[in-house]
Amino acid sequence: MSEPASSSTVFDLRPMALADLFDAVVRLYRRHFGQLVQIAAIIYLPLGALQVASAFMLFQAMETTGPGTVLSTDTVLLGVAGVALWFVLFWFSMPLVQGAVAKAVAEYYLGGTVTLGGSYGFALRRWPTLIGIAFVNGLIVMAITLVSIAPGIALAQAAGAFSGAGWTLQVMGAATAGLLLFLAGLQVSIAIGVRLFFAALVALLEGEGTIASLVRSWELTRGHFWRLLVALGALWLMVTVLAGIIVWPAQIAAQFLRGSLFIVGQASVNALSATGQLFVQPIQIVGTVLLYYDLRMRKEGFDLVMMAEAIGEPELATRTREGVARAAAALYGGESPLAPPSNADGADHEP
């Protein structure tokens, strides 16, 4: 159980413009850099070591000798097994480490107390739900991709694109139609992805189940799609560039290496990639958590709820048409002391 949010931090809460949001992201990350990286390192370092070792074995298995290439079967099998193990561990462990970092960020933002064990203990209790949300989101993306690609493939087949007929008028028309369908599917994927983006944080910080978290995220983001798209896109670009600054020079240099130096170069690239993820992923999580609270403040008066509780007057909390703003106790795993207001006609109170 976490400590209650400090009053001084609570009274600084407010909805933020995009520039203010990124300023807050940088300030929070810099202030708590050491502990955020420490929390992330629990998972990222073993995964990074496995990634480097597996890639090293795969590259080592291809030893150039003259014009031919000699493959070491045992080393290839070990490398492939290592990559497969890394993929499985990555898929299942990412929700856990991201949940632990997000919990720490939420505590920092609201003035709570953060410990490494407490962050992971909290995330572990919600780990199955976080995996379920990642699985459902993956199924949604896969379904949209298949629906958008399948008609294009069928059109290309009907136009004779796979029969060696060349670029006839029919084939070009089918290719154009397939591309348009794919772009439409991509737009749908992005739209749904933004609307469901905060489901994991809902599950983590509000304790909702898989489907309830997805529904809650959909409702929470209603009316804020374009602002969120710009903010998430800018956040992704910032993280990508920062990671690239670490990795891109090594990737370029590795292309000029040959023989054993090439193997060492590729291992170094993988090591730098893992290191880059360790340092920059917390930035993305900080931005995501702050966006989540910004949404709740804009739509539910979450900042006013926290202030009302800080002064011991939770009944003063703002209520909106979209539902009762959740109290601070709900954030920390307890039951919210706020109950929906009731009146003669059963309508919600306005702010």
Six token digits for residue 197: 């983006």
For range 144-161, the mean pLDDT = 74
Would 279 be classed as within a structural domain? yes
* Tens-digit pLDDT profile for residues 197-215: 999 999 999 999 999 999 9
Identify the residue with better confidence: 142 or 323: 142
Query: Does residue 15 carry a pLDDT above 70?
Result: yes
Q: Please state, in angstroms and rounded to a whole number, the distance separating the CA atoms of residues 322 and 312.
A: 24
- Please give the model's pTM, rounded to 2 decimal places: 0.79
Q: Please state, in angstroms and rounded to a whole number, the distance separating the CA atoms of residues 159 and 170.
A: 5
* Tens-digit pLDDT profile for residues 220-253: 999 999 999 999 999 999 999 998 898 888 878 8
- Residue 127: its pLDDT value, please? 95
Q: Please state, in angstroms and rounded to a whole number, the distance separating the CA atoms of residues 58 and 4.
A: 50
Q: Please state, in angstroms and rounded to a whole number, the distance separating the CA atoms of residues 333 and 329.
A: 7
What is the domain range of residue 231?
A: 7-114+223-331
CB 40 within 8 A of CB 101: yes
Q: Which band of pLDDT confidence, cut at 50, 70 and 90, is reported for residue 172? A: confident
Q: Which band of pLDDT confidence, cut at 50, 70 and 90, is reported for residue 321? A: very low
CB 338 within 8 A of CB 317: yes
- Indicate the number of domains in the chain: 1
Would 161 be classed as within a structural domain? no
- Residue 11: its pLDDT value, please? 64
For range 42-66, the mean pLDDT = 77
For range 180-185, the mean pLDDT = 84
Q: Please state, in angstroms and rounded to a whole number, the distance separating the CA atoms of residues 120 and 167.
A: 56
Q: Please state, in angstroms and rounded to a whole number, the distance separating the CA atoms of residues 192 and 218.
A: 9
Query: C-alpha 284: how far from its chain's center?
Result: 7
Would 275 be classed as within a structural domain? yes
Would 141 be classed as within a structural domain? no
CB 129 within 8 A of CB 214: no
Would 312 be classed as within a structural domain? yes
Would 227 be classed as within a structural domain? yes
Would 157 be classed as within a structural domain? no
Would 259 be classed as within a structural domain? yes
